[in-house]
């Protein structure tokens, strides 16, 4: 499982022109679920995301986590994070988990993050065509792979 985490000053997610989710300062997390992923991957990544200290303190050092700044989180499933591009120019997604495996893990990630953060998080809709508007703060973008702790 891989999470691409962007520190943002704001973000919104639209589906068919309608705003589905919106957050002020916080994280936009794009979550890729691999065919070999399980509940342990969810637990590992949720802990890393919830504890990630990438917001600036009074001295300008990245030292504060999401809870400390009272930030929000927007979680979006993104099977394209496991695109294989070695051969040819058309990506293959064979390493991405199929919906019957991925949806329960995505839902588990939502509930695990809500528990760790002590509040509801915003989400996309699994499998939907979504447009995300965001302002990446920094820019700060971090990739965490549960298979490479």
Q: What length does the chain have?
A: 149
Q: Which residues are catalytic?
A: 80
What domains can be seen in the chain, in order of their start residue?
2-145 (3.50.80.10)
For 136, phi then psi, to 5°, come to -75, 125
Each residue's pLDDT tens digit, 64-118: 999 999 999 999 999 999 999 998 899 999 999 999 999 999 999 999 999 999 9
Distance CA 31, CA 60 (A): 28
Contact yes or no for 34/81 (Cβ under 8 A): no
Distance CA 13, CA 49 (A): 20
Q: pTM of the predicted model, to two decimals?
A: 0.95
How many CB atoms are closer than 10 A to CB 5?
22
The average pLDDT across 10-38 equals: 98
């Amino acid at each position: 499982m891989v999470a691409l985490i962007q520190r943002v000053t704001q973000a919104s997610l639209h589906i068919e022109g309608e705003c589905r989710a919106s957050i002020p300062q916080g994280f936009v997390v794009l979550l890729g679920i691999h065919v070999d992923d399980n509940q342990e991957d969810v637990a590992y990544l949720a802990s890393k995301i919830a504890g990630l200290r990438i917001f600036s303190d009074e001295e300008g050092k990245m030292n504060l986590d999401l809870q400390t700044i009272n930030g929000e989180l927007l979680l979006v499933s993104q099977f394209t994070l496991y695109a294989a591009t070695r051969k040819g120019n058309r990506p293959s997604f064979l390493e991405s988990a199929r919906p019957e495996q991925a949806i329960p893990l995505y839902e588990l990630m939502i509930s695990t993050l809500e528990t760790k953060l002590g509040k509801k998080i915003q989400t996309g809709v699994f499998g939907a065509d979504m447009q995300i508007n965001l302002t990446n703060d920094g820019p700060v973008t971090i990739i965490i792979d549960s298979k490479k702790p």
